[in-house]
Structure 1
Amino acid sequence: MFFTVLERSLSLAQHNFGTLLKTGWAYILLLVALNFAIGGSLMPESGFKTVSYMTEPVAAADEGALRALAAIANLLVGFSIAIAYVRRILIDARDFPVAFGARNIRVILNQIVLTLIGALSLIPLVIVSLLLAAVTAGIGLLLLFLAPFIALMVVQRFSVVLPASAVDDPLTLRESWRATSGFGWAMAFAALVMSLLAGFLVGIWAVVLGVSDGLMPASVLWQQIRSAVFPMGTMLILVWAFASLHATFYGLIRERFAAQLGLRQEDLSKAEAQKEAARERARKALAGAQRMNRR
């Protein structure tokens, strides 16, 4: 199960990178414009010493506050990209290129709740491991080492509410926990690998932009562009990795529900075909009625 979940997540991500760009193109432009404007306002006269304004040392409190607001704005846009991406690959939704509403707020609130669950899971584990370390150093240190992974497993079992909220499925935290029974460690392992992959790709992205200085003519404009596209690319990588991961989780539990109901894949396909046939008959009937009205 460990490798099945990971393989399906990687396969989904690999085959849907184009889908990410198609569904998120408007948000990508928004990210570039947002970061270009903020980076331009924070750019010193001597230019940036690092790849982006986001990676520059904080020189003043107001710069730190503006950078924090920029990070929040990037996250909000990133959530919007993730929602559009998940909706396209799960239910083939074709929403307006830019949208922000109750659905986005639900997903963001669920993410905040998951973050709190992770913290509340990690803190007691760390406390217990430190107490054990005072008595039996080996067991305590082992638990301290495993504590983040255990907390990650807990969070991932609840995390199916994120793609569910994106597709307007009223799945609750309790239902998510029950539905992922037996998947917890595999989900945590897949999340860990996808996190490492995302971190590696972000590092590659930073190196590519850093090397570009030697390929592009030195100019203030290029520094501003480079500064803007780094957080944009970083956000795309994170969305691509984690939205694909959680879409896979959602697909797995829906397959489990279908199996529990005694439905096979053939049954699901047959039901979809029947629905499509009914829609086609309805369209033909409507077209016939319209022709009669014109006569």
Structure 2
Amino acid sequence: MDYFLQQALNALSLGGEYALLALGLAIVFSVMGLVNFAHGELITVGGYAMFLAVLIFGVKDPLLILPVGVLAAIFFAVLLERVAFRPVRAAPPTTGMLMAFGISIILQNSALIFVGTRPKAVPTAEWLMLDVNIGSLRMPVVQLLEAGVTIGAITLLVVFMRNTTIGIAMRAAAKDFSTVRLMGIRADRVVRTAFAISGLLAGLAAVFIMARRGAVDPFMGFTPVLKAFVAAVVGGFGSLPGAVIGGFALGIAEVTLQATLPSSVAGFRDAFIFSAIAVLLLFRPQGILGERPDFGEKT
């Protein structure tokens, strides 16, 4: 029973990380129709901001370092929207996608040139590395906190989207952006808010990734966001509830296979997962909660 509970906590923690990142991708896509492949670099920017806070400003208290990473991710997300994505907003979707790819490559190579390939250590709060013992069950504090923060962030986002003017405008924009603009809602404000929320979610994920890794490198955001993109597709790209479901489903699948597969085939875990996803998408290409587009009757 203890082993089962431990693995359940692992799945909840990992799924929460994927859910936060998938939500950030989905909320921008739902408003702009943009697949922001530079989303992973928000994690990297948050990590390097924490490193620079230690190196340049001499901040030693981890409780002061962590908010720096979150605020840096938010600021950089809004900056990207203003500088890179706003000028191509009226262009075809492929233009925005190529812009996102270009930004990702530029940021990765800039970090390689100016910072280097070696991981840079960032102080981590010692209490995050502790375990909470309940009987014979040992639960890492960082996993408990990650699960709690994920649930809290999702709950606050639901409240924001349902009970604030800008949140309702964002939900309406996901359905018909042109009508929202005709009703007097500024498009720039809606899009900027969507990017700020995506930056916040990426910053929260960066905090927990850094807490586990203890160091930042130029490619630290690539794999998590790739998994989050898959989770968003599984849930139904553009569906916020679908992004959450897809993130937790992917986390549960990874942990379950890691715990149950024999060691001789455990290295093929991702291959099994992606094969199952391919089969799912064959029967439900729009994802779990996505809406299937109507292309008319087949001839």
TM-score by length of 2: 0.30
Structure with greater strand share of residues: 2
Structure with greater helix share of residues: 1
